[in-house]
Amino acid sequence: MTSRVAAIDCGTNSIRLLVADVDDAGGLTELDRRMEIVRLGQGVDRTGELHPEALARTVAATRRYAEAIEALGAAKVRFVATSATRDARNRDEFFSGVRDVLGVDVEVVSGDEEAALSFRGATSAVARTHPGPFLVVDLGGGSTELVLGEDRVDAAHSMDVGSVRLTERHFLPGARVEAGATTAAVAEGSSAGAALPPRGAVAAPEGPPTPAQVAAARADVRAALDVATRVVPVAKARTLVGLAGSITTVTAHALGLTAYDRGRVGGAELPVRTVLASCEALLTSSRDERRAMGFLHPGRVDVIAAGALVWSEVVERVVHEVVAAGGTLTDVVTSEHDILDGIALSLA
């Protein structure tokens, strides 16, 4: 028996849709997959509230998705919201807008559930070609999930570092987080970073982040990883799998693509040194250089430097832990199957 389902993943930076037919054996046939950059998390790290313009952009995108869902005749719909919505005081306004447009309630999932959905989606494809245990890393705009397991999740942790959150904390004019500041200190109000303007506005400086900004951001991520690796024994990983837009963008750069090619990015297996080199290239590029990269979505131009920095820190830490435990980890796998696939499978 086959069910036609629709999954929506609304994160800090983007909102994504998957309409698919799912059979009883867990097979998934994709009918429509799309993404829009809406930057719902604009300013949430600083203000604690969803910006009215961000709300309007997100509800408008939801309306377009509702039309696609109706046209394809999906019988079941699940709308999952993650980091930005968890943090917002005015999230009821968002819930009401989505309910009016789509007719379903928004589910604000915990970091653990987000991790489990991402793990299920990613390993549905990777497990056929790579050995476990798998460490799945879902690098979003507001948070980054680390999930370890093989047939099921054994350990998971959500870090409050992501491409949008770190950009606002460290890379925008007015950000004043010093090197060595911890994630907890930032969350308690040590950041004065300005909110990202709406799509299309100039958000980040024209040049790359300064050495001081990079040092502060790295200290933030390393503090978060210190906590995460006490919860998730990453040294047990035999396959490291990266998900979501920052990681797929780094992969596209490493593959030398002139335009984004999902077929080549999904399933790509790259040497660690190649991944780290592409992270460094994106981190140190100017805004004009990033805009000229044909594989880079315009909505990621201002946040990819922070995303690349987070991914480089995660990869380096995981490799270090694996080697220290006597193992080897020389390559990184990129998956185009992620939380959307997990949401869709959960509806079957």
Interatomic CA distance for residues 17 and 340, integer angstroms: 7
Question: Hey, which residues does 15 pair with through a beta bridge?
Answer: 10, 36
Interatomic CA distance for residues 67 and 102, integer angstroms: 9
Q: What residue has token string 């990777």?
A: 126
Are residues 107 and 117 in contact, defined by beta-carbon separation less than 8 angstroms? no
Q: Check residue 205 and give its pLDDT.
A: 66
Interatomic CA distance for residues 242 and 227, integer angstroms: 20
Parse the chain into domains and list their residue ranges: 2-112, 125-339
Question: Hey, which residues does 158 pair with through a beta bridge?
Answer: 145
Q: Check residue 187 and give its pLDDT.
A: 32
H/E segment holding residue 91: helix 91-102
Q: Check residue 2 and give its pLDDT.
A: 85
Question: For 2-112, which CATH superfamily applies?
Answer: ATPase, nucleotide binding domain (3.30.420.40)
Q: What residue has token string 């799912």?
A: 22
Q: Check residue 18 and give its pLDDT.
A: 94
Question: For 125-339, which CATH superfamily applies?
Answer: Exopolyphosphatase. Domain 2 (3.30.420.150)
β-strands 239-243, 331-334: how paired?
A: parallel
- Specify the pTM: 0.75
In the chain (348 residues long), the average pLDDT of successive 10-residue segments reads 90 88 81 88 79 90 95 93 77 90 89 80 83 91 89 88 87 56 34 35 67 92 95 95 92 94 91 96 91 87 91 96 94 89 86
Are residues 26 and 346 in contact, defined by beta-carbon separation less than 8 angstroms? no
